[in-house]
Structure 1
Amino acid sequence: MGPDMHFNRLQDSVHPVVAVSSGDGKYQSVAFSRKVLLIIGGVFLAILFFSILITYLATKSANAPPPPAPTETVPPSQQHKFPTTIEPGGPDEEGQITTASMPATPTTSGENDTETGNQSVSTEPTAKELRLPTSLLPISYNLRLKVYLPGYGATFATDKNFTFEGDLKIRFLCANDTDKIMLNSIKLNLSDNPQSYSIKKSNAVDAKEISVVSTNVSEKLQMVIFQLSDMLTTGEEYEFHLTYSGPISSEVLSGLYLSSYVAADGQTSSYVAADGQTRYLAVTQMEPTDARRMVPCFDEPSMKATWAVTIVHPVGSTALSNGIENQEPVPVSDQPEWLESSFKETLKMSSYLLAVVVSDFDKREGKTKSGTRFRIWARKEAQHQTEYALTSGITALEYFEQFYGIPFPLEKQDMIAIPDFEAGAMENWGLVTYREKYLLYDPKEYALSEKRRVAVVVAHELAHQWFGNLVTMKWWDDLWLNEGFATFMEYLGTNEISNGTFRMEDYFVIDAFAGAMAKDQRATSHPLFVPIEKSNEINEVFDSISYDKGGTVLRMMDHLVGREPFRRGLNLYLSKFNYSNADHLDLWAALSEEVPESVTDWNGERLDLTNFAASWTEQMGYPVVEVTRVDDSKVQLKQKRFKLDENALEKERFRNPVHGYKWDIPIWHQVDGQDRPMKWLQTDATIDVKTSELLVINPGAYGFYRVNYDNATWEKIANQLKNDHKLIPLGSRAQLLDDAFSLAEANQLSYQQALALTAYLDKEDELLPWANAFSNLAKIKSYFEDEPAYEYVQIYMKRLLEPLYNKLNWNNIPTDYTNDSRAFEDSLQSSILAMYCNLGIYECKATAAELFRTGFMDACNSSNATASSCSKVPLSVRKLVYCKGIEHGGEREWNFVFDMYKKERFQLEQSRLMAALTCSSSRWVLTRLLDMTLEEKDIRKQDAASLFTYVGASDAAGPIIWDYMQSNWKKIYSTYKNTKSLLKYVVAASTNLKAEHNVKQFERFIQDNANVTSQFSIFEIQLEKARSNVKWMNTHFQSLAEWFKMVTSKTV
């Protein structure tokens, strides 16, 4: 284990200086004489000679038969991981999490063969190449899995450590004559002995056994091809029996992989077991294409089958799978150290939903009204945090049964908190897996916004049990059907969980709606329905478009046709395609059957949702509705695509969509606060409204579009906000601010007009408008930092925030986080304090730093204390206070937080501490922190994305992290190439560039590393953002700087 990272700097010396560990976690500098250096040089030359000799001998033997595929006999020391991507309270209030799986993109030819720089990389196979033939269709799997986990009651040879053995029987139907069986498989040890396999007809008593002539493994295509001695006959069912083995992976968090929580030795940033021992668990993550890492199978969503699973596991461990257990675990005959747990055969389901967990976890149990057994599993010491998940889960499951009108089809539902998990959660049917902090909850450790996030993730995953599990998309090009619907339904489910107190209908506007608009206004977006052309694009579609835009478009449809007809249409869809697969056209057909006669289209005919939905799902982007006054009694509406940078180019296949970037737009509107009948906008439309009346389009923000009014109307809206803002609906107030600032950024409205809307905010006491104001003002602020004109921006924003800051100040922070109805109020207060402190206002920073000293450092001075148990800093501002304590402090404060980070046993508090560590302004410290992510010392691999994101969120640290990525790219890529969703976040955090010379560097970087960068859309996304930043500086900076100077020079 490496030394602790502290602030101690290396001292300059006339001799070369090397940093070494003193054994107590400190760095010491050692000066070397010339004599010592000569000795070292001689040793180096000797090592170089022997390394050349070894390389020669290795090359000479390269053509020898390869040894058997190695198994992972020893887990990487102290590589104890728990994952996070962008944390709540990071760059955004809640951050952006992905609550379904985002595992690593399949490698093209093994997992360690890709290099960076100018070396060659295997061509990424096309999606078509990766598809299995449809000549064989699976019916059922019978899987017996033996899992070798050390540390329990079984003893076995060390070469079995962290491996598994599978005994598999697949029953399938032959749909077309073939003499091959093709299955998906990756990194599994399959025998090349044909006698290891058997194939026979399923229903014949004396069926002739067909033999395997040869096996061919294609790592590039992730397939194994079994050549048969005889032809399989159309219409016949066969059973294929094989055995195999594989590693419980510690390299990737997919397939069957290793997780752990670790002894309290003070040396690792990991979880502390109550009895002081390391505990290992094996857990699965299969979506989208990783079931093949644990079992050779037909690993495509449309190839559904049943699974009968039996797990052989060490005494002292518990095994879980999708089905309910057939009986209590029984000892294996002649192997009393092993238990056999068998599970009831699942319903017909896609392979990506298969789940297995072997652990020593405890459970909390309940039951739904309809009799479904419900259990929450977690580490023993976290059991006190499982009650909320149980009550929330039961409430959500009962609600969805009623909403969908279809009983939950399983006998049990398990949810389990995993220490190491790359995604937010995964909806495996009957066994949902979560990151710990998105399932566990303790009112002593979670603020209300964090409690709400737990409820949202639980609701999202349980919504999937019908939409995604019962009915599944045919292929990944319709992933948004799964994720968009779960996003839409999570708000309804969370509303039920909180009995309405979380106000999820309002929250949607600043969460999914805002996220979708921010992503889809760029040229690097994509349509909801997006044909998958390359294998890596499967993982690329797990993004804000599939989740947030999908949910937002469905919310618009729900509002258009009405909740009850919409619900009936979903029931029809789920009933018609249960245990099967469907696409978006099937959904539109079902929903259209339930559209009321009163809901008509632009031609006055009953609305056909297939026609309406096409323009919203089959092309990227969204419209801006332009409002222009025609005369004293009416205004004219026109539409065009809203694009943040008109010069940015889409991918060629998206540039000329069949709908021509035109949409069928439902225009909901109010005049003087009164709802008017909805109108349709295709090419143009008019609305009767007098000049004396106030027109607001899209109240409630149900339509997925922006609105740009003429100057007179914008002025009227600004005046109305100042005079009586509550005449304008809450959602509209929020969206007006976001529209105005986005239009200004796109150079379609002046920033002065956008900023004029903020003048009323001293009267605003609701979170939604402030949240959109915060995000847009923070963006402006980021352009001015390190510029002389920043002082005027600071003065302007201080005046804007000061009234509410004085009202919601440090003296009024709540300490009781059990009243859910305060969720918006608490979020508003913590956001105001954060924004005010981040402006650099001394009073705010000093108050936070003092609270850090008294409420954290003084309160936690015991050597055995953990932050989650001793910190007295209020939960809603804890992350802010920890950060300001580091900013305001020095070496002592940083070391204190780092030590507390390493000792912390609960994931949420640990993430707060990690965020604080990145608040240092020291280049050396930040560089060392980033080094630690690559070394996987103290910072878990899955925390790398969060740490990079925290560093990258600081404008001051932007150049540091960009320099770091350039200097360490080969090592970054080598570390994260097998967990590519983490690599995506690392790249995004490292390339928030605003200076033109940095953008040119980035362009060269992409070109120089094209063999890698061409495989990831994140590089195109970040380059578009960087170019937009440069354009903003050239277009807006000077005029806005002069405006801020002018308005702040006036007497207040």
Structure 2
Amino acid sequence: MLSITHLCYTKYMNRLFSQFIPEHYTIQWNLSRARDKRRITGTTIIVGQQVVDGTIRLHAKDLSISRVLVNQQEVSEFFAKNDELIIPHPGANQVTIAIEFSLRLTDAMHGIYPCYFKVDGKQRELYATQFESHHAREAFPCIDEPEAKATFDISLVSDQPVLLSNMPVVSQQSGVTTFATTPRMSTYLVAFAAGDLQRATTRTASGIEVNVYATMAQPAASLSWALDHAARTIDFFNEYFGVPYPLPKSDHIALPDFSSGAMENWGLITYREIALLADPATTSISSKQYIATVIAHELSHQWFGNLVTMKWWNNLWLNESFATLMEYLATDALHPEWRQWDEFASNEGVAALRRDCIDGVQPVQVDVSSPAEISALFDGAIVYAKGGRLLRMVQTWIGDDAFRRGLTDYFTKFQYDNTTGDDLWQCLSTASGKDVGALMNTWISQPGYPVVRATLADGKLTLSQEQFFVGPHQPNNRLWPIPLGANDSRIPDILADASVAVSYAGSDMLLLNAANTGHFITLYDDELRGRIMREILAGTLESSVRAQYLNEQLLLMRGGLLPSSTLVDLLSVYKNESDQKVWEIISLALSELKKFVDHDTAAEHMLRTFAADLARTQYTRLGWSAAPGEPEQDTKLRAIIIGCMLYGEDAGAIRQARELYRANTLEQLDAELRPLIISAVVRHDQQPHNIVRTLLQMYENSASAELRSDIASGVTATRDLGELKHLIRLLTNTRVIRTQDTVHWFVDLLRNREGRELAWKWLRDNWRWIEKTFASDKSHDYFPRYAASLLMTRQQLAEYREFFTPLRNDQSLVRAIDMGLLDLEGKLDLIDRDAPGVIAALSR
């Protein structure tokens, strides 16, 4: 028996597809010993082409290999090296490899792993898989690369009541469940689940069976929202893409333990419970909208990523950038009242612009050469948000009709195959008659984005571009072909040079990027800025423009191009604002101001008063209860406004929160307001110990992921040092805080000023535990990233540098550490420079 274990990643990894081309896998996993022995045995038979004479190399990690046969001949000399199973075999032709193996079941939430839940107080387990990006090798020997597509026959030996895989069941006999043969697909999309599950089912208009699964711990009613949206979304994509959904069924399963938000396994999509289940008794409007977008994101992957797959991980954006765009496009079509493109701007746009301005950020397309680098690729603000924003720019530039024609051609031409970005650009160029590659290759290969300076003098408008930075940076001469998207036909379509000048007479208001589909910001001179401000004051600008303008001013202040003190006066202009999307940016602006008063009690009191005064008009209008038939936007706005009033320590708001908490169970509280109410009570009660411990007991006993999330947000707001220390200790107690939720708790404690130093110390004291628990997970680099974004002192900067610098040899962390240092240093420089002006502005 050969045990293949993993000690450390080499700097580079071999690409194995060039020496062995798999065509078909027959895999059986035996789960009968999973619960008592924590082991799974398996066999895999691989039919493929041996290209290199003398050796067959397969990916295999943490597997115990007991037997290998090639063409029915026993092989005794196989061995392991660098996560590879190396099988000596002369010749170069079609071979059949049979391998018997076993693996140890762990709680790592990748490969094959258990999920835990309770029904009637009894502990239960189900078993699930997570193979993206390079974890299939932990479950069976294979060529674990996207380009190595093959078909799969999968079977399971298990007595669990429900067994699922990518394809439907075709037979169940003698304890073996066998599934239909899959289409050609990549190993990272192979999946199965086994457990005691309940199901809700329907069919799409085209006859595709759609199922939503959850454990018996969840109320049956919580499956319906997702089921309806999944079926409708498949129908939408069938029509939009012009290529039908390629499988006979679409399963969606909510897992109690899941590291990511969701995973697009072909035909068996896995989710966190909070990303799929909508209990009518506890789910907010915001959560339902989130669930709808996650479902759309994962279903779009059934085409983008599954039907057509990137050749290598450097083109991950072909999967994730498109799925990010499509989640908004689909939900906008199904729910136009949600104003999803405004949501796109305030979510993806804000996230991308805030991260993409730090020196050292990765481009959308980046070369990778090791498993650790692959894990670090999944930067939500870049590969997802920025990439989605760039594709929205292309869609707008060529028009939606050409965009759709290009996608249909792309799916038709490359179905069941692998591509690069150039393949997509060619299809879109053919459909539109525009050179999409010439525009897009610069955007996806260069990090960062430009600021366009707009200066008006003597009837001439000068537009110039340079890279925009926040924090320390190295100067450069990068240029972009920028679709300016101006509201005036005198402005050129594209700015590709460093500057351009055009005649511009008159007093018209100029807006660049008027539809907010370009990835740049604009620094207007005083004259042009004044024209925009007059329109805001007059109430003539659309809400999306008001939100975009405010967000760009925030960025310009962070980058030192405008003084931060001007934000106080600018926010005063928005005092009568009533739009929820604009208030999201106002709330972000108030958060930006908090760092300037973090160590000044008197100044902080002024900011709290300022926030409450800013929100008071809408607080009076909306109150605490929804009016009959009120728009969902007002329901969501109420939470933002009440959050401002509670931050402002308005006595009436605090009193109302405490009264509602005493008069209702958590399930009875308005789901939009529940985390705010819990936070207010925990923060202001005279006996926080009793409340926090009661809430923690509810947290442990509740099966509702949203309710648990609200409790976590609430209890971590406590000011009580004893309770904060207790919560910090719980971070490593996985019986109370599931591993999937550790980052959520850690970030909430860091965000709490009274808990920040304790949480920062916990990270350093428990780094070995963090590495053991998260080292092979995509969330590993969250710890240095969020620490940098929330630490606030020069002492903490020095500690951050001292602690993390020795960890830069870990390729999964190096970018997060380097950017974290620049982010934290830039923030402290900004505070030193602008805090006096901000405090002076608040005192006026």
> Which of 19, 26, 31 matches 1:142?
26
> Which of 682, 687, 693 matches 1:886?
682
How far residue 550 of structure 1 moved from its aligned partner, in angstroms, is: 0.8
Alignment correspondent of 2:11: 126
Alignment correspondent of 1:300: 145
Alignment correspondent of 1:309: 154
How far residue 505 of structure 1 moved from its aligned partner, in angstroms, is: 1.6
Answer whether contact 2:449 2:467 (CA < 8 A) is retained. Answer: yes
* CA shift in 2, pair 1:808/1:466, >3 Å: same
Alignment correspondent of 2:70: 199
Alignment correspondent of 1:767: 580
| Distance in 2 (alpha carbons) for counterparts of 1:1004 and 1:503 | 46
* CA shift in 2, pair 1:853/1:989, >3 Å: farther
Within-5 A mapping of 1:820-859: 822-856=631-665
How far residue 213 of structure 1 moved from its aligned partner, in angstroms, is: 4.3
| Distance in 2 (alpha carbons) for counterparts of 1:792 and 1:950 | 24
Please say if 1:238 is aligned against 2:238: no
List per-residue Cα deviations over 1:300-328 (Å, max 9, x = no partner).
Answer: 000000001111111x522111111113x
List per-residue Cα deviations over 1:426-450 (Å, max 9, x = no partner).
Answer: 0000111111111111232111111
**Residue type matched to 1:356 in 2?**
F
How far residue 794 of structure 1 moved from its aligned partner, in angstroms, is: 2.8
| Distance in 1 (alpha carbons) for counterparts of 2:517 and 2:376 | 27
| Distance in 2 (alpha carbons) for counterparts of 1:388 and 1:851 | 28
Alignment correspondent of 1:486: 323
How far residue 511 of structure 1 moved from its aligned partner, in angstroms, is: 0.9
| Distance in 1 (alpha carbons) for counterparts of 2:648 and 2:598 | 10
| Distance in 1 (alpha carbons) for counterparts of 2:272 and 2:501 | 51
Within-5 A mapping of 1:997-1016: 997-1011=795-809, 1015-1016=813-814
Within-5 A mapping of 1:678-717: 679-683=493-497, 684-717=499-532
| Distance in 2 (alpha carbons) for counterparts of 1:1014 and 1:489 | 28
How far residue 734 of structure 1 moved from its aligned partner, in angstroms, is: 0.9
Within-5 A mapping of 1:885-964: 885-889=681-685, 890-964=688-762
> Which of 975, 982, 985 matches 2:782?
985
* CA shift in 2, pair 1:149/1:414, >3 Å: farther
How far residue 210 of structure 1 moved from its aligned partner, in angstroms, is: 4.8
| Distance in 2 (alpha carbons) for counterparts of 1:515 and 1:299 | 32
| Distance in 2 (alpha carbons) for counterparts of 1:246 and 1:699 | 56
* CA shift in 2, pair 1:512/1:1008, >3 Å: closer
Answer whether contact 1:944 1:982 (CA < 8 A) is retained. Answer: no
Q: TM-score, normalised by structure 2?
A: 0.95
The structure that is helix-richer by fraction is 2
Alignment correspondent of 1:559: 396
How far residue 924 of structure 1 moved from its aligned partner, in angstroms, is: 3.1
CA radius of gyration, larger in: 1
How far residue 635 of structure 1 moved from its aligned partner, in angstroms, is: 1.5
How far residue 473 of structure 1 moved from its aligned partner, in angstroms, is: 0.5
**Residue type matched to 2:465 in 1?**
Q
List per-residue Cα deviations over 1:461-520 (Å, max 9, x = no partner).
Answer: 00000010000011111101100000000011112333x122212211101111111110
How far residue 691 of structure 1 moved from its aligned partner, in angstroms, is: 4.3
* CA shift in 2, pair 1:376/1:767, >3 Å: same
> Which of 762, 767, 774 matches 1:976?
774
Alignment correspondent of 2:168: 324
Alignment correspondent of 2:57: 182
* CA shift in 2, pair 1:1008/1:667, >3 Å: closer
Please say if 1:422 is aligned against 2:267: no
> Which of 1013, 1022, 1027 matches 2:820?
1022
* CA shift in 2, pair 1:688/1:908, >3 Å: same
Q: Counterpart of 1:366 in 2: which secondary structure?
A: strand
> Which of 461, 464, 476 matches 1:638?
464
Answer whether contact 2:40 2:104 (CA < 8 A) is retained. Answer: yes
Alignment correspondent of 2:359: 523
> Which of 666, 669, 690 matches 1:873?
669
List per-residue Cα deviations over 1:739-780 (Å, max 9, x = no partner).
Answer: 112111211123344444323323321122221121122121
| Distance in 1 (alpha carbons) for counterparts of 2:810 and 2:395 | 42
> Which of 349, 352, 362 matches 2:188?
352
Alignment correspondent of 2:452: 625
Answer whether contact 1:253 1:421 (CA < 8 A) is retained. Answer: yes
> Which of 49, 52, 60 matches 1:173?
49
Alignment correspondent of 1:434: 271
Runs of 4+ in structure 1 deviating by more than 6 angstroms, as ranges, are none
| Distance in 2 (alpha carbons) for counterparts of 1:389 and 1:210 | 50
Answer whether contact 1:190 1:245 (CA < 8 A) is retained. Answer: yes
| Distance in 2 (alpha carbons) for counterparts of 1:470 and 1:1014 | 29
Answer whether contact 2:450 2:465 (CA < 8 A) is retained. Answer: yes
List per-residue Cα deviations over 1:277-304 (Å, max 9, x = no partner).
Answer: 3221110000000011111001000000
Answer whether contact 1:927 1:964 (CA < 8 A) is retained. Answer: no
Please say if 1:222 is aligned against 2:83: yes
Please say if 1:537 is aligned against 2:382: no
| Distance in 2 (alpha carbons) for counterparts of 1:688 and 1:752 | 33
Which 5+ residue runs of structure 2 have no aligned equivalent? none
Answer whether contact 1:436 1:907 (CA < 8 A) is retained. Answer: yes
List per-residue Cα deviations over 1:264-288 (Å, max 9, x = no partner).
Answer: xxxxxxxxx14x4322111000000
How far residue 958 of structure 1 moved from its aligned partner, in angstroms, is: 1.9
**Residue type matched to 1:253 in 2?**
M
How far residue 974 of structure 1 moved from its aligned partner, in angstroms, is: 3.7
* CA shift in 2, pair 1:1010/1:579, >3 Å: closer
List per-residue Cα deviations over 1:657-678 (Å, max 9, x = no partner).
Answer: xxx420111111225xxx7776
How far residue 954 of structure 1 moved from its aligned partner, in angstroms, is: 1.8
Answer whether contact 2:780 2:812 (CA < 8 A) is retained. Answer: no
Alignment correspondent of 1:806: 620
**Residue type matched to 2:338 in 1?**
F
How far residue 1008 of structure 1 moved from its aligned partner, in angstroms, is: 4.7
| Distance in 2 (alpha carbons) for counterparts of 1:150 and 1:898 | 31
How far residue 357 of structure 1 moved from its aligned partner, in angstroms, is: 0.6
Answer whether contact 1:376 1:414 (CA < 8 A) is retained. Answer: yes
Q: Counterpart of 1:521 in 2: which secondary structure?
A: coil
Percent of matched pairs sharing the same residue: 26
Q: Counterpart of 1:759 in 2: which secondary structure?
A: helix
Please say if 1:611 is aligned against 2:470: no
Answer whether contact 1:361 1:377 (CA < 8 A) is retained. Answer: yes
Answer whether contact 1:698 1:732 (CA < 8 A) is retained. Answer: no
> Which of 260, 278, 294 matches 2:123?
278
Please say if 1:459 is aligned against 2:293: no
Which 5+ residue runs of structure 1 have no aligned equivalent? 1-66, 70-108, 114-121, 152-157, 201-208, 263-272, 333-338, 597-606, 650-654, 857-866, 1048-1052
Please say if 1:718 is aligned against 2:563: no
Mean CA deviation greater in 438-447 or 404-413: 438-447
| Distance in 2 (alpha carbons) for counterparts of 1:434 and 1:1013 | 28
Please say if 1:664 is aligned against 2:474: no
Answer whether contact 1:951 1:989 (CA < 8 A) is retained. Answer: no
**Residue type matched to 2:610 in 1?**
Y
| Distance in 1 (alpha carbons) for counterparts of 2:671 and 2:594 | 27
How far residue 824 of structure 1 moved from its aligned partner, in angstroms, is: 2.3
**Residue type matched to 2:358 in 1?**
R
| Distance in 2 (alpha carbons) for counterparts of 1:1014 and 1:904 | 34
> Which of 994, 1001, 1021 matches 2:792?
994
Alignment correspondent of 1:256: 112
Mean CA deviation greater in 789-798 or 238-247: 789-798
Say which structure, 1 or 2, has more relative contact order (CA 8 Å, 6+ apart): 1
